[in-house]
Amino acid sequence: MANTPQAKKRIRRNDRRAEINGTRVSRIRTFVKKVEAALESGDKAAASAALAAAQPEIARGVAKGVLHKNTAGRKFSRLNKRVQALA
């Protein structure tokens, strides 16, 4: 258990950050699931629109530090490839 005031403060701060970051990651997952659902239905227009909505969310995750840049690039690349394959 933390003994110093600073360590106790870090624990409080880390708990707040974990809650916020969890919300951000969950939001990104939701947008990705919308793209995957559109892909499953086979509707290219809906999949393209969902992908266009997901891209800024993924980029925001990188900017906020909840996703690594390469992870975001990989996710976007794979989704984009699947949307293009619907043609």
Chain segment 24-72, per-residue pLDDT in tens: 999 999 999 999 999 999 999 999 999 999 999 999 999 999 999 999 9
Find, among 74, 83, 22, 87, the residue nearest to 53 by Cα: 83
pTM of the model: 0.86
DSSP state of 62: H
For residue 1, the model assigns a pLDDT of 79
Give the three-class secondary structure for 65.
coil
Domains of the chain from N-terminus onward = 5-84 (1.20.58.110)
Flag whether pLDDT at 2 surpasses 90.
no
Distance separating alpha carbons of residues 56 and 53, to the nearest angstrom: 6
Do 52 and 58 form a contact (C-beta atoms < 8 A)? no
